[in-house]
């Protein structure tokens, strides 16, 4: 199974900041990685798929990059609605696995 | 508009059984693979099981293999998860999720979730 390790587990940031979240895979793969945003009491929302493709309707301040074992989600100019928990998910092989999550909190 | 409506959760004793349902609408259900993803209280996301559009192939996490069975009825646009031999660690909100039409399984639509509590 491919294990996904996210860092940091939480980050405090202010509106307008740039935030970077990293996801490291226990085995390398090309681009089968997604990023989701989840707010309390709500279902996750797909932000990025195939490591760097922006899902329709998602603001362009969100971007993804990486391949192999290291992947990154960047949020440019953090907005109030971006305070949430973010998860990566590997879609390279079954069983599908998620990272442990990164909570973006208001500083 | 794509909609997924999860139902069937509740309180069940350890060792008991429960069947979850996910009613789909707004897309060609039989075309799309589907999965169940769960989230224990205060914890992260865990993929549980997946099934292809035809139902011909199924996949399971090791933690539920042999206890849970995923199935679908394409004539009713409904996804199911039969959960047997339930344990306390199965307590979670269970979401059904649609796999987007793509080479890899990414989830573009999710149900609202249904809470399963395993406790005596």
pLDDT tens for A58-99 read: 999 999 999 999 999 999 999 999 999 999 999 999 999 999
Cβ pair B44:A100 closer than 8 A: yes
Asked if A32 and B50 come within 8 Å (Cβ–Cβ), the reply is no
Picking from B104, B110, B111, B114 by the largest number of A CB atoms within 10 A of its own CB, the best residue to mutate is B104
Q: Do residue B100 and residue A89 have CB atoms under 8 angstroms apart? A: no
What tens digit of pLDDT does each residue of A40-64 get?
A: 999 999 999 999 999 999 999 999 9
Beta bridge partner(s), residue B117: B11
The predicted-structure confidence for B46-71, as pLDDT tens digits, reads as follows 999 999 999 999 999 999 999 999 99
C-beta atoms surrounding B45 within 10 Å:
26
The predicted-structure confidence for B17-27, as pLDDT tens digits, reads as follows 999 999 999 99
Mutation choice for A interface testing from B45, B94, B97 by most A CBs within 10 A: B45
A1, A91, A98 member nearest B105 (Cβ):
A91
Cα B38 to Cα B46: distance, rounded to the nearest angstrom: 5
| The dihedral formed by the CA atoms of A39, B33, A34 and B59, expressed in degrees to the nearest 10 | 100
Query: Is residue A107 over pLDDT 90?
Result: no
Mean pLDDT within B85-90: 98
What is the residue whose two structure tokens read 């796999």?
B99
CA distance A99 to A37: 12
- Integer Cα distance of B53 and B98 in angstroms: 10
Q: Does the beta carbon of A32 lie under 8 angstroms from any beta carbon of chain B?
A: yes
CB B47 within 8 A of CB B39: no
Distance CA B116, CA B114 (A): 7
**Residue A62, Cα to own-chain centre: how many angstroms?**
9
Distances (CA, A) of B38 to A14, B81, B90, B104: 31, 12, 9, 20
With a CB cutoff of 8 Å and minimum separation 6, the contacts of A72 are A20, A21, A22, A23, A64, A65, A66
CB within 8 Å: B104 and A1:
no
Nearest Cα to Cα of residue A89 among A39, A50, A41, A42: A50
What the block records as the tokens of B28 is 């060609």
Strand partners, B18: B83
């Amino acid at each position: 199974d491919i294990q996904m390790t996210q860092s940091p587990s939480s980050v405090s940031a202010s509106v307008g900041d740039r935030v970077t979240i990293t996801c490291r895979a226990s085995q390398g793969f090309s681009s089968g990685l997604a990023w989701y945003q989840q707010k309390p009491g709500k279902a996750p929302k797909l932000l990025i798929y195939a490591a760097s493709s922006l899902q329709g309707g998602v603001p362009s301040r969100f971007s993804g990059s990486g391949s192999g074992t290291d992947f990154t989600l960047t949020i440019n100019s953090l907005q109030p609605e971006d305070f949430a928990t973010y998860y990566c998910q590997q879609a390279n092989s079954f069983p599908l696995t998620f990272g442990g999550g990164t909570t973006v909190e208001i500083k | 508009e794509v909609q997924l409506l999860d139902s069937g959760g509740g309180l069940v004793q350890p060792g008991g059984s429960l069947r979850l349902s996910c009613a789909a609408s707004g897309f060609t259900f039989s075309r799309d693979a589907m999965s169940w993803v769960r989230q224990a209280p205060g914890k992260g996301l865990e993929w549980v099981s997946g099934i292809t559009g035809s139902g011909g192939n199924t996949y399971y996490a090791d933690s539920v293999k042999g206890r849970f069975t995923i199935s679908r009825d394409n004539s009713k646009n409904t996804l199911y998860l039969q959960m047997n031999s339930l344990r306390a660690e199965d307590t979670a909100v269970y979401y059904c999720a649609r796999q987007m039409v793509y080479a890899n399984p990414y989830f573009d639509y999710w149900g609202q979730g249904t809470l399963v509590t395993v406790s005596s």
